Structure 1
Amino acid sequence: MPSARKIDLIAFDADDTLWHNEHYFRLTEKRFTELLAGYAEPEHLLDRLLQAERRNIHQYGFGIKGFTLSMIETALTVTGNTVPSSVIAEILKSGRDMLAHPVNPLPHVHETLEDLAGRYQLVLITKGDLFDQERKLAQSGLGDLFDGVEIVSTKTVETYRTIFTAMGAEPGAAVMVGNSLKSDIVPALEAGAWAVHIPYEITWALEHHDETPTDEKFRTIRDMGELGGVLAEIG
């Protein structure tokens, strides 16, 4: 007899949904402002850095490598191309340190995924650098719990529809779980899926989204430990 439940597939964002990530960017930005303290105030430096990231994201994509290149560009700009080579070396070291940072899963992530694996199809859908995202997934110890892993350049309505279809699920039978309203929640809802928002303590400026969705398929929870209750409610 076929199952009467509504959900067949659960998709998860990675950074700041399964493990800490944005925290390391903020620490590196602080170090960046310290390195260039003699040239500009921290707020000015961070504003120029954000402008560089916004310009460069279509060329460099999301992730640490693009962030590091944007820091170097900003350092050259604010110093009139006179930034000492020692500062450039420190910026590069900061980027390497980020690429080696430990992977710390967020509360209730591992046990929740273990509980859901085998009962639903689980797929990871994340933006970022291919090698870095693969590294973090491997170090997290979560990789074997997923039926599929998709590392994409952007998250759009078409991105979600394509992945859900490839996994054999209709959008209406899929749930997207993530911390970013802009990338994880809104386009998934527009694709016809359910969406569960788990806010993270820090949101990157380019991921800000001011309007809270009113879609009946939208839910917000405090942490991954509450996901099971939402799935039970959906059916």
Structure 2
Amino acid sequence: MEINYDTIKVIGFDADDTLWVNETYFRDAEEEFAKLLSQFETPNKIDQELFKMEMKNLPTYGYGVKGFVLSMVEMAIELSNGTVSNSVITKILNIGKGMINKDVALLDGVEDVLQKLSNKYRLIVATKGDLLDQERKLEKSGLLDYFHHIEVLSDKKEANYSKLLNHLDIKPTEFLMIGNSLKSDILPLLNIKSKAIHVPFHTTWAHEEVTLEESKNKQFHTLKTLKQLPELLQC
């Protein structure tokens, strides 16, 4: 597939599961949660109901660990018909604290890629999630010096990206987004005439999945690893 990147001046990076590991910790937390509530329901049913609760609460809590923990607490109360113990609630809260306090595990080759690209492009982070948590992870990552701007978005739709690009005085045709989610990092950018490159992570949150029809006839590259990016952009 021939895609011309000659007009690109600014590259935006998603953070979670593009720069560092994230979704794996949510899957682990869901397993812990299912074990805590195993007396009330099967693991599969608990997983399904927790996802429904997260979707219901997204407009209220937004994305990130804190909203996830609140959804777990609410789900525990609902599944147990209000009989869940204080001990279990405490363990749920501790799951969340453990997620927040995890070390940042950079994905393979990330810093080398940013170093190469920063010689040619202006780099920014465009991610979503809890502001405090994302700021903490960026600080722990040791990557802050590579980025000219950090933006934690409430969502990643066309309007959010257009507002960001307008705020930073970036023309859509001069912007390239890199991310692991077709729904959040790729398709919205293509719809506003920017470019995007998909770097899948080995696990994807169900909320971020798209159908083949939604991505059909869209022009974008998919890379196996971020380490392929400098060669594609001839850096």
Tell me the TM-score range normalised by the shorter chain.
over 0.9
For 2:134, the equivalent position in structure 1 comes to 133
Match of 1:219 among 209, 217, 221: 221
| Partners of 1:175 and 1:100 in 2: CA distance | 31
The offset of 1:213, in angstroms, is 4.3
Q: Aligned AA for 2:13?
A: F
For 1:92, the equivalent position in structure 2 comes to 93
State how many pairs are aligned.
229
For 1:209, the equivalent position in structure 2 comes to 210
The offset of 1:214, in angstroms, is 2.3
Which residues of structure 2 form unaligned runs of 5+? none
Mapping of residues 60-71 of structure 1, within 5 Å: 60-71=61-72
Q: What SS is found at the alignment partner of 1:215?
A: coil
Mapping of residues 98-137 of structure 1, within 5 Å: 98-137=99-138
The offset of 1:215, in angstroms, is 2.5
Query: 8 Å contact 1:186–1:213 — kept in the other structure?
Result: no
| Partners of 2:121 and 2:166 in 1: CA distance | 15
The offset of 1:20, in angstroms, is 0.1
Q: What SS is found at the alignment partner of 1:10?
A: strand
CA RMSD across the alignment: 1.4
The offset of 1:169, in angstroms, is 2.1
| Partners of 1:172 and 1:7 in 2: CA distance | 7
Q: What SS is found at the alignment partner of 2:233?
A: helix
| Partners of 2:18 and 2:216 in 1: CA distance | 19
| Partners of 1:171 and 1:64 in 2: CA distance | 31
The offset of 1:108, in angstroms, is 1.2
| Partners of 1:213 and 1:106 in 2: CA distance | 28
The offset of 1:164, in angstroms, is 2.0
| Partners of 2:133 and 2:14 in 1: CA distance | 15
| Partners of 1:112 and 1:120 in 2: CA distance | 12
Are the structure 2 counterparts of residues 175 and 61 from structure 1 closer, same or farther at C-alpha, using a change threshold of 3 Å? same
For 2:192, the equivalent position in structure 1 comes to 191
For 1:17, the equivalent position in structure 2 comes to 18
For 1:200, the equivalent position in structure 2 comes to 201
Mapping of residues 148-159 of structure 1, within 5 Å: 148-159=149-160
Q: TM-score, with normalisation over the residues of structure 2?
A: 0.94
Query: 8 Å contact 1:33–1:42 — kept in the other structure?
Result: yes
Describe the superposition over 1:159-194 as per-residue Cα deviations: whole angstroms up to 9, x where unpaired: 212222333321111100000000110101101111
| Partners of 1:214 and 1:92 in 2: CA distance | 44
| Partners of 1:114 and 1:213 in 2: CA distance | 33
Q: Aligned AA for 1:149?
A: I
Which residues of structure 1 form unaligned runs of 5+? none
